[in-house]
Amino acid sequence: MSSSRTNFTTLPFELQMQIFHDYFKVDGGYAFNGDSEKLTTANGKPIDLALMYTCRSIATQTKGMPLSLNTVHFSTVYHRDWTPLAGCLNFVTVLYPLLVADMVIRLEPFITPDMYSELTTKFPDFVPELRRRSETHQELLGEVEPREPDNILASPRLGDALSWIRDFQHGTPRPDANYPFTRSSLSPVFFGVRANQGTPFYALRLLAEKRPDEFAQLVFGTFPHWVDTHPAHEFLELGFNLWDIPSRSELSLVTSRLDVDFIWQMVDQWHYKPPRSYDSSSPYDPLHRGTRCREKVRFSAAAVSIRFLGGLTVDQRLQIRNVTLHEDFAAAGEPPFHAQGLAPFFRENSRLRVERRVSAMRCISEPGRLGYDTPGEVAWWLQEPRHPKHANYLTFRNSMPSSHFPICLAQWLLSALAVPEAGIPAESFTFVLEGGPYLDFCTDLFQQTVHRDVAWQKAYQASLQRGLLARWPRAAELVVEGFVEAIEHLINSTSFLRSDFNTGHPWDWENLVEEKTGFSQFTWVRSFYMHIFLPIDFPPAMDYTSILADNYEIQTESEYSQPHCSREGSEEAG
């Protein structure tokens, strides 16, 4: 008697492929789980690959199908065990460029004409700024550090960088202080190009090559513990890419070399009140009580994806077709620039497509108001919301200056538009500005702030070009260079920039030209700045109190007074 059962392998090839497709294709694709550091289904369940193991022929036929059929999703990751790493990384990724820039300024007198020629060819805008900074620096040193004319390296002081470290060690904040370690709190600007850290670094590497004795003298003067233990050129190897997630041992090596190991204690401690209010070095201080908090520091979706992809084999990476990055919270290490770290994967896999979705509220609007306070000040407000000093606490934190959104948006858009320069094909990358549940608010925000700034900039430039304003020798722009063009790309869909909300309508900038006719340039610029600091209220659903738990671990005294918490609190406070 013949069997009515059909052998799968005898089915038509097209039908087999359809079955495989339906089996491996998962609703919502795959998602990276920050706790397990593995991929799951979108709803958090394990990925079912059982069909691949039924026989060798099916395994061969379906090799690569799960990753090629499903979009892989990454979101920002908060992991309690990663918080000290993220906080220390933030500190180091600010400190190291500060040190590099200060060293370049200190060594500028040793730059020869040939070296200047090379720098001018590669970085034409950098050289005039370097000369100006160096002149100012030498004038200040002459006032506060008398020295022999031929010994300009006599003092190990390095201006901004070391004074910043000393601020942590000896002033406020200090190693036992309650300082915030989100990137927005630690972002000094050097040479006006925060993203272009490679420019002063290139100059320092050139100086180390051409003037090794002076370079070594400066390194050893800055870090005396390096003498007879580490060669000076090791300083050039201590930096991280902005998107790196190093291991603790890798980061500990750098903090040790830079003599800032104290930072590990700072980033993981609980905060009760601002340190000036009590002896924070003693776990038995009676003011170690009341509600306490400590920061949650996240890694960006882009940084997490780079780390994950780097851990796969080449064959596995080549199977991936689509990746979506959900930047849903503020993160460590200048996240606008992190997508550039994906460039090697695009070079390796021409079929890779990446969509980066950035929350306009969480990543762009929100970080500014979180930067108002240290964790200790947040804890103090949670303990004593009716204290006289907190009379207007929520008023300021439930609104933002209308200048904040365009400034932060510019960094995200301009860094996105720069990814082709890093080697990412424009046709393979999409940037989406997300309004999420606040679409109408984002439309209104765009209309009030972004279109306003664009109109003022266009009117300002037109007035200068038409001779209605006398140009100052150092006439400042009203907005970041390239911002107007980036906004036009976004609203006209003429690039890979997109948004999921209505971006509104451009203002009539010609009206501004007419209104301001007869103004001096000083009055023109002052009028602009009077407008941009007007406050804009956040929507009620983003009330300050409702977002604190997303950004801080918060414990009441009754919670941490339990036996298992009391020991932890004493150890960390000490």
Backbone angles phi, psi at 271, to 5 degrees: -125, 135
Q: What pLDDT is stored for residue 285 in this prediction?
A: 58
What is the model's pTM? 0.86
Please tell me the distance from the alpha carbon of residue 76 to that of residue 299, in angstroms, as a whole number.
6
- Pairing verdict, β 292-295 and 552-555: antiparallel
Ramachandran quadrant class, 191 (left: phi over 0; alpha: psi -120 to 50; beta: rest): left
Residue with tokens 């896999």, as numbered in its chain: 349
Most confident of 145-154, 184-193, 263-272: 263-272
pLDDT band at 474 (very low <50, low <70, confident <90, very high): low
pLDDT-derived band of residue 283, with 50, 70 and 90 as boundaries? low
Instruction: Identify the pLDDT of residue 521.
Output: 82
pLDDT band at 101 (very low <50, low <70, confident <90, very high): confident
Q: How far apart are CA 214 and CA 150, in angstroms?
A: 12
pLDDT at 176: 38
pLDDT digits (tens, 9 = 90+) for 213-236: 999 999 999 899 999 999 999 999
CA-angle at 466, arms to 462 and 469, nearest 5°: 85
pLDDT-based confidence at 570, cuts 50/70/90? very low
Which pLDDT does position 194 carry in this prediction?
A: 38
- pLDDT (mean) for 400-419: 94
Statement: residue 71 has pLDDT above 90: yes
538: left (phi over 0), alpha (psi -120 to 50) or beta: beta
Per the rule left: phi > 0, alpha: psi between -120 and 50, beta: everything else, 564 is alpha
CB 277 within 8 A of CB 305: no
Residue 366 has pLDDT above 80, yes or no: yes
In whole angstroms, give the CA distance from residue 304 to residue 470.
50
155: pLDDT strictly greater than 80:
no
The confidence band for 475, taking pLDDT boundaries of 50, 70 and 90, is low
Mean pLDDT of 414-425: 96
Residue 172 has pLDDT above 50, yes or no: no
What is the pLDDT, as a whole number, of residue 152? Answer: 40
Q: Say yes or no to pLDDT of 45 above 60.
A: yes
pLDDT at position 157 is: 42
Give the β-pairing of 552-555 and 399-401.
Answer: unpaired
Asked whether the predicted pLDDT for residue 465 surpasses 70, the reply is yes
* pLDDT band at residue 186 using 50, 70 and 90 as cut-offs: very low
Give the bridge partners for 31, in sequence order. 40, 73
**Of 313, 358, 438, 348, which Cα lies nearest the Cα of 74?**
358
pLDDT band at residue 566 under the 50/70/90 scheme: very low
Q: Binning pLDDT at 50, 70 and 90, where does residue 275 land?
A: low
Q: How confident is the model at residue 154 (pLDDT cuts 50, 70, 90)?
A: very low
CA 213 to chain centre: 36
The answer to whether 358 and 412 have CB atoms below 8 angstroms apart is: yes
Mean pLDDT of 270-287: 62
Question: Alpha-carbon dihedral of residues 105, 107, 111, 116, nearest 10 degrees?
Answer: -30
Burial class (CB in 10 A: 0-12, 13-18, 19+), 148: exposed
For residue 350, CA distances in Å to 321, 343, 425, 502 come to 9, 11, 9, 32
**Is 31 in a helix, a strand, or coil?**
strand
Say if CB 538 and CB 365 are below 8 A apart: yes
Cα 400–Cα 172–Cα 269 angle in degrees, nearest 5: 85
Instruction: Give CA torsion, residues 329, 331, 335, 336, to 10 deg.
Output: 40
Does 11 score more than 50 pLDDT?
Answer: yes
Reduce the DSSP state of residue 446 to 3 states and report it.
helix
399 in Cβ contact with 538 (< 8 Å): yes
CA distance 461 to 528: 13
d(CA 407, CA 476): 15
pLDDT, position 302: 98
Mean pLDDT of 33-53: 90
- Distance, in Å, from the CA atom of 29 to the CA atom of 324, rounded to the nearest integer, reads 10
pLDDT of residue 6: 63
Long-range contacts from 416-421, C-beta under 8 angstroms, 24+ separation: 416/336, 416/339, 416/356, 416/496, 416/497, 417/482, 417/486, 417/489, 417/495, 417/497, 418/195, 418/340, 419/339, 419/340, 419/343
Q: Which amino acid is at 228?
A: D
Instruction: Give the closest residue to 365 by CA, choosing from 444, 477, 305, 452.
Output: 444
Query: What confidence category does residue 538 fall into, taking pLDDT thresholds of 50, 70 and 90?
Result: very high
Rg (CA), the chain: 27
Percent of all residues in the chain with a pLDDT value above 70, rounded to a whole number: 83
Question: pLDDT by residue (tens digit) across 111-146?
Answer: 999 999 999 898 888 888 888 887 776 666 555 454
HEC assignment per residue over 144-203 = HCCCCCCCCCCCCCCHHHHHHHHHHHHCCCCCCCCCCCCHHHCCCCCCCCCCCCHHHHHH
pLDDT(344) > 70: yes
Q: Tens digit of pLDDT for each residue in 435-450?
A: 999 999 999 999 999 9
End-to-end alpha-carbon separation of the chain, Å?
Answer: 82
Closest CA to 68 of 319, 297, 289: 319
Alpha-carbon distances, residue 140 vs 46, 132, 137, 274, 341 (angstroms): 62, 13, 5, 33, 38
Q: DSSP characters for 212-248?
A: HHHHHHHHHHH-GGGTTTS-GGGGGG----TT----H
Give the full edge-to-edge strand order of the sheet including 497-499.
Answer: 38-41, 30-33, 72-75, 322-327, 353-359, 429-434, 497-499
* DSSP string of 300-331, one letter each residue: -HHHHHHHHHHTS-HHHHHH--EEEEEE-S--
- pLDDT of residue 551 exceeding 60: yes
Domain range summary for the chain, segments of one domain joined by +: 13-79+297-371+399-434, 80-290, 439-545
